[in-house]
Structure 1
């Protein structure tokens, strides 16, 4: 994201400083069975098992929509799928006639191609440094309209950022505890920390490899309609963070615009989204809810209750934010509390199909233009 901002609240979705997660919420490995049959590039293809998967259909619908609204070119989509093909041919067990059959292998290859191969510093989560495919939207710079922006992250992630002495007790508890944010001592301390300011520790990279953010004023306007016990759920739903589940604890990190102008940002594309299960390249509204510089999240609460997709918050992505860029600037935070529910499950506790499942979301996106979707599927 470029240009000048005023207020920013950063929200990390699938690309937090943590291992990437699949639709089942588990870490996925590429080529877990070792290097298998290597397909020649000419004979490689996505197998029918992949094309039938809901996650792939969501990806293909966003390829269609990104091209339709000129977020990126068809050549950009083809470049990404070629890189996935090349990685698959080199790293993943392929089936008959060089067909990839595992959707998690596909998205692991896609994220490696777009986010960069993960490296693992001692004692830390794998780090991704990004590639030139990221932040390539043709939508233009972010308008100068806010002083702060926000990004919603897990409590454990936020505690990893801290370098402030005033939060040292909390930081020390986090690193001593085997239960992380669920530790009773941490919870007791958090009862006194509703909001405030902090500085990023010297060796921390906020964003892996990028930060997702929304205007702070829009997020806080949404949260005002909810009780304290429901603010975590409200933030998760507003920002489309379907991978954040019941019993997780969330924090909104607030970044001043003066920091974001120092780094690149853009409206997110399929390359930035990776395997994000509720990414929407194009608005569900006509006209769009926000200006062309902004993408939009899916409102998870509205989708579960009404099935028809509805825009949630505005969103952009930026390069990671480091201590070197932040220097001595203080970031803000708001503790949002514990999630009381999960979204986007395939089945409810009674074994019934959920109205906000991956299948329902894929179906709703495809219905926008089925003929164009079929053409994209044949290309992929």
Structure 2
């Protein structure tokens, strides 16, 4: 179902409530990685350039006590956004009350205002009541009352039902006010949803990471959709155990071996596993390494895919027209065990005439490190959200956007 987008709205003179994802690292009051802020700027610019008043909501971190609040203020984010967008950004250090209401009402067309961290509402008067995280309908209704329409551009929280996304959306729709996707959300729906539900073929999924349990739902959903599913990372060795290979000291989820057997039986030759691994006796970057086949020797642990696996995976990917990648091929944070992940990123960057979608922290870090992100069709901004979307789950943040 196509969703209403920000470009469908009449924004001139309107107070446009926007859910953005400014959950960024902050140390000593300084914003580290700005990619999430940068990702929201096209939608913010569109709103203000079309005469709207942009009222921004975001969470930052987790707040479990009053003491958490000081270090999780969005003030540094307001300052960084102002610098990046080259325009003043009003910061309101409160989440409700007269000061917030007056500040919103005093805005002129083209102004930008950032509300304090929505998770300040999780702890009120010292009590951990989670008004934001548990989607208190009164809070969503209050925030909705501040604006004329709502634009959700925070895909990273689309799998969560919070007051600042679903709560505002429901209250807006109850009052016949429009709820739309921002450009970033629209892109996620188009590329992840499109890749999984209407792919150009051959469609190849690459799934990595440590645990089978994290990816069971995704694998199960994709078995009926993908032409091939490449599996790498630590979860490989649960599948190895299911096939009867020796796994040495490699990571294994013993309680998921039977599940892995079922997946292998159901998937047949759709499932592509590594055929060699880089192993070491210790979980250390400077540990001595060797490349072994499918049986991992006693006393060794597999920490990356080997060169034959890299070639196998590239052969599978060579003719692909749609590729979705989520999760590393090895212990990517250690440079001596990063080559498998980097090789996949490198190959996808060079893949011609294909839709390439990458999600997940390490996969995203790999394509950024390689400088190939701009060669890919889409790099997702949502970790958990992109995984759940790939599982075929209904994400409440997307479901609450008005259908066209």
TM-score range, shorter chain: under 0.3
The structure that is helix-richer by fraction is: 2
- Normalising by structure 2, we get a TM-score of 0.26
- Normalising by structure 1, we get a TM-score of 0.27
Higher RCO (C-alpha under 8 Å, 6+ residues apart):
1
